[in-house]
Amino acid sequence: MGQVSRRTTLEAPGLYFAWGDGDLRHASFALDGQGTSWVVERSQFDGMLATEAARRGVEIVREANVREIKRTDDGTWALMVGGSHEGLRMARFLIDASGSRSAITRRLGARFESDDQLYAIVGRARGKRIRQSTFVLEATPLGWWYAVNLAEGVVVVAFVTDRIEFAEHLSVSYADSFTRLVKDTVYVREMCSDRFLTVNCRSIPSRFATPAAGVGWALAGDAALCADPISSLGIGFALTSGAGAARVAEAEIKGFESLAESYDSQVRKTFERYSVDRGLRYATESRWPSAGFWVRRRLQSQGSTGEA
């Protein structure tokens, strides 16, 4: 497989976090505490994967969108594609790996079950050109922040909060409010200037699709399950669910016993395990027992999705 250029990667020795108290502590990214981790430029990483897929015979169609999906009498999918490769395309099996926007999930008959109403506000600012990336995570009364240095002297700063806090403190002019709230942090603000190149907002609820697979289709990655960023589940689940969805497709195409129900069960169990782990992580922060964001995290860990 190809390699990601060192020009757009940085060695990442670990995570600095202020969580549970006001002290800044360090933890290694590596599972065993050894070895090296890297911060990778996402678009280049995606391009590397696409190049490798093309090398293995996959047809890559860029800048296209699925306008219409129909199931033919013989079970084949007919997709009307728009964009740079407009036209009709046929497929024996569909895997929706379009991320959290889940471009075709609902058209396949799936729905989502969610248990929170998280928002993420993400800003990009100029930072110092460095040889190693620094990742800082900091809890605050309204939610939590993280900041990470990328190559080319850019710092990404993100704030994760609930819909209620977003509406009360950010929604009118979230770019200006975001800049103001950064100044209230202790450690994150030290990593960037107070001038952001871009500030974007998106809803990121924790959710899973049900079912995650059916006759002729399967979901993978964020299209199947979206997790709170605090869990660090995204990349790992993207890889394992991609392989799982591929096995569902292979079994159906080759006429083997369907793996759709088993795969759906695995996705649901993954969400259940994630929910438990998420509750344990949030339980270690108790500085603001009456703050709405943290009250909801406690209710969430007890199986309640009610608003505080």
In a domain, 57, yes or no: no
The verdict on residue 103 lying in a domain is yes
Do 212 and 292 belong together in one domain? yes
Looking at the structure, tell me whether residues 225 and 183 fall in a common domain. Answer: no
CA distance linking residue 226 with residue 231, whole number of Å: 10
Q: What is the pTM of this model?
A: 0.87
212 and 295 in a single domain? The answer is: yes
Tens of pLDDT along the chain (308 residues)?
555 555 566 676 778 899 998 899 988 765 555 566 777 777 788 888 889 999 999 888 888 888 899 999 988 999 888 877 788 989 999 999 988 888 788 888 899 999 999 999 999 988 766 666 788 999 999 999 999 888 777 899 999 999 999 999 988 788 999 999 999 999 999 888 778 999 999 999 999 999 999 999 999 999 999 999 999 898 889 999 999 999 999 999 999 999 999 999 999 999 999 999 999 999 999 999 999 999 999 988 776 433 33
Query: CATH number of the domain that 261 lies in?
Result: 3.50.50.60
- The answer as to whether 234 is a domain residue is yes
Residue 262 structural domain: 92-114+206-299
**Residue 218 domain-assigned (yes or no):** yes
Domain shared by 132 and 13, yes or no = yes
Same domain, 21 and 124: yes
| 121 in a structural domain | yes
Instruction: Kindly compute the dihedral angle of the four CA atoms of residues 172, 136, 291, 284, in this order, to the nearest 10 degrees.
Output: 150
Domain shared by 101 and 130, yes or no? no
